[in-house]
Amino acid sequence: MKASVRLSVLWGDVGNALTAPFLKFRPYCCLDCRARLAKDKCSNGFPETRKYFRLRIILGIESSRSSAQTRTMPSIRTLKIFLSVARCGTFAAAGNKVGLTAAAIGLQIRTLESDLNVQLFDRNARAAVLNPVGRALIPEIEEIVRRYELLAVAAGGGEMSGTVVIGALVSALMGAFADALWSIRRQHPRLDVHLLAGMSSDFAHQVEVGELDAAVVTQSPHPLASTLLWTPLYSEPMILIMPTAPHFDLPPEQDEILRNAPFMRFDRSTWTGHLVQNVLDQCKVEVNEAMELNSVEAIVALVRQGFGISIVPKLANVDFDNDRAISVRSLDGVDVRRHVGLLERVKHSRTAFTGAIKSYFTAK
């Protein structure tokens, strides 16, 4: 047991205070001396420039148990907060993600540093930056959290529960992935899926830093980080779509259509945009650029209204063939498909969920 007593000594000579008999006890916390200059306006006999000290001594009687024996294990919640700060970059951003103030996040981090007896962040007036010690601990802490979360799956007899955060292309939600997600959700009603729509290139970074458990993305035209794993799920042919009631002359031949009709291009900086350019390269034509958009859905809507043509993936759940406003044409001499797959980290705690998605498409 620890007993403590607080003594406040207001005296002009700190040396006398430090030799006081009560200091024979061993302090276990702190000795805080604050000096101030004060003028003697009450004629109490001290010189005007005399230094006055406020001496606060915290004394305690320690038990015979060592600090190593009494050190507490950090909670899983604290470890998750540390990972959030490491991924978000600031206490404030991590606080917004987990629903705490920056001050509360800072307190959790200081507690973790105290428990581990190491400094994890270099602090200055503006920010707290993860130091080399903190960065080195990230894989170990991720593994602890991953193993802890796997206990819930084992305890539930294989039934998935909890929250999964997954990203998906809007076009994938219009395709086969929507069916897979609905099927898994019905089999595991305790599973809470948070679904974010966006772009493949953005999702790759979010999965890598742990903001997303996984994402459904197109195959990257660039090499992925070694910590990421991409598994193909399905593929879609690239097709030429044209309006049935165009506001322009529509030639009969494929090459003439591409050269002369207003072309609605998918954003060339995106992964699907790279595929569109691959198709045009194989066709060996230069198109009549009219507009560049980053949404397959917006492009299809504009083509329906007769404003142009486009090259897009043939989405699984969109019935292009029976759409009276659109004419679909296969591209002669072109062998380009959009491969859609599941992107995840090599090690993470939601392997049961990602495995279920992959199994769904393998069985089809």
Write down the pLDDT at residue 228.
94
332 and 253 housed in the same domain: yes
Alpha-carbon distance of 196 to 170, in angstroms, equals: 9
Domain count, the chain: 4
Write down the pLDDT at residue 325.
94
Q: Which helix (H) or strand (E) holds 188?
A: none
The 10 Å Cβ neighbour count of residue 108 is 25
10 and 131 housed in the same domain: no
Which phi-psi region, left, alpha or beta, contains residue 49 (left: φ > 0; alpha: ψ -120 to 50)? alpha
Q: Which of 21, 51, 69 is a domain's end point?
A: 69
pLDDT in tens, the chain (364 residues): 444 333 333 333 334 433 344 333 333 333 333 333 333 444 444 444 333 333 333 333 333 344 444 556 778 888 888 888 888 888 888 888 777 888 888 888 898 988 888 899 888 766 778 889 988 998 888 888 878 877 766 665 566 777 888 999 887 877 678 888 888 888 888 888 888 888 888 899 889 878 889 999 999 988 998 989 999 999 999 999 999 999 999 999 999 999 999 999 999 989 999 999 999 999 999 999 999 998 888 999 999 999 999 999 998 778 888 899 999 999 988 989 999 999 999 888 788 899 999 999 988 7
Q: Which of 104, 129, 155 is a domain's end point?
A: 155
197 and 247 housed in the same domain: no
- What amino acid is encoded at 287 in this protein? V
Q: Give the single-character DSSP code of 270.
A: S
Write down the pLDDT at residue 45.
43
Beta bridge partners of 265: 292
Q: Where are the beta strands (DSSP E) in 102-201?
A: 121-123, 128-130, 162-168, 191-197
The 10 Å Cβ neighbour count of residue 104 is 14
Q: Pick the closest to residue 12 from 35, 43, 30, 41 (CA basis).
A: 35
CATH number at residue 314: 3.40.190.10
Map tokens 């007036």 to a residue: 125
The 10 Å Cβ neighbour count of residue 360 is 18
30 and 120 housed in the same domain: no
Q: Which helix (H) or strand (E) holds 359?
A: helix 351-363
Kind of pairing between the strands at 191-197 and 310-313: unpaired
255 and 345 housed in the same domain: no
343 and 230 housed in the same domain: yes
Q: Please say whether the beta carbons of 277 and 218 come within 8 A.
A: no
Write down the pLDDT at residue 24.
38
Segments forming the whole domain that contains residue 18: 3-69
Alpha-carbon distance of 324 to 136, in angstroms, equals: 59
171 and 254 housed in the same domain: no
294 and 278 housed in the same domain: yes
State pTM to two decimals.
0.63
230 and 344 housed in the same domain: yes
Q: Is the dihedral of CA 133, 134, 136, 141 positive or negative?
A: positive
146 and 290 housed in the same domain: no
Alpha-carbon distance of 257 to 286, in angstroms, equals: 11
CATH number at residue 86: 1.10.10.10
Write down the pLDDT at residue 257.
95
349 and 228 housed in the same domain: yes
Q: Which of 155, 170, 190 is a domain's end point?
A: 155
204 and 348 housed in the same domain: yes
